[in-house]
């Protein structure tokens, strides 16, 4: 692949990923496309992404081969290796020769070598001071990637971070919207229930609300549920709300 062709493909890949982020997207499909691009364009044998769950434990989300997935699963099981170190420190961890891995990474080293890998780069998925996962590049030959490839890999890691956080923000935003809509609907029903109780019990609206709330508390029911039953005439409150 010529330099011009490679640069054109990189630009096309980033453009495609950017277009994906604008539209409704599947975050796993986005990340899979990203690691495939790392394998095809960055002179690396395999690539994978690990992200942290709600407990801060790393999990494999995508990988380009079962071999790379196996290595990552093994290092997760051992809780020691370049990807774990990268996530914990938020720093790029480079291991040009897996043979030279520290002694406490022995399980990772043996598994990686058995799968035919000789080098690894672990790049943090980081937003400011928060690290949410790692992008991992595994090579069949020892040595450090070129500076150009590392720059591209860091850019891919940034795209992955944006994709994951954007997807999370959408879900959180949708949940918040649903909660707000539910709260608004509940408030409307409560106002209607206040009118019903005020009319049927011959009390002011403020006193009607006190009756509704007292009944809900004494029967350990949700205020909105009691209000809905009052509006539908399934429930009638006595004056003391007991």
Alpha-carbon distance of 26 to 166, in angstroms, equals 11
The pLDDT mean for the chain works out to 83
Q: What is the CATH number of domain 177-231?
A: 1.10.10.10
Q: Can 3-169 and 177-231 be said to share one CATH topology? A: no
* Model pTM score: 0.68
The whole-number pLDDT of residue 39 equals 92
Q: Which residues of the chain have pLDDT under 70?
A: 1-4, 19-26, 77-78, 167-180, 183-184, 239-242
The whole-number pLDDT of residue 188 equals 85
- Express each pLDDT in 191-202 by its tens digit: 899 899 998 988
- Where are the domains positioned within the chain? 3-169, 177-231
Q: What is the CATH number of domain 3-169?
A: 3.30.450.40
The whole-number pLDDT of residue 104 equals 92
Nearest to 208 by CA among 225, 190, 224: 190
Structure tokens at 37: 């691009």
């Amino acid at each position: 692949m010529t330099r011009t062709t490679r640069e054109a493909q990189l630009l096309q890949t980033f453009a495609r990923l950017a277009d994906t982020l604008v539209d409704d997207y599947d975050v796993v499909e986005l990340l899979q496309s990203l690691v495939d691009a790392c394998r095809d364009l960055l002179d690396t044998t395999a690539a994978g992404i690990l992200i942290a769950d709600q407990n801060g434990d790393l999990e494999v989300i995508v990988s380009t081969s079962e071999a790379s997935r196996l290595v990552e699963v093994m290092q997760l099981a051992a809780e020691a290796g370049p990807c774990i170190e990268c996530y914990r420190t938020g720093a790029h961890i480079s291991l040009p020769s897996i043979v030279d891995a520290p002694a406490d990474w022995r399980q990772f080293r043996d598994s990686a070598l058995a799968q035919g890998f000789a080098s690894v780069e672990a790049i943090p998925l980081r937003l400011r001071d928060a690290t949410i996962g790692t992008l991992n590049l595994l090579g069949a030959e020892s040595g450090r990637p070129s500076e150009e490839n590392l720059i591209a890999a860091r850019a891919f890691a940034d795209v992955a971070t944006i994709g994951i956080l954007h997807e999370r923000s959408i879900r959180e935003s949708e949940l918040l919207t649903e909660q707000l809509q539910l709260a608004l609907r509940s408030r409307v029903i409560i106002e209607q229930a206040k009118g019903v109780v005020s009319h049927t019990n011959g009390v002011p609206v403020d006193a009607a609300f006190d009756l509704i709330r007292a009944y809900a508390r004494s029967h350990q029911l949700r205020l909105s549920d009691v209000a809905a039953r009052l509006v539908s005439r399934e429930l009638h409150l006595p004056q003391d709300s007991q």
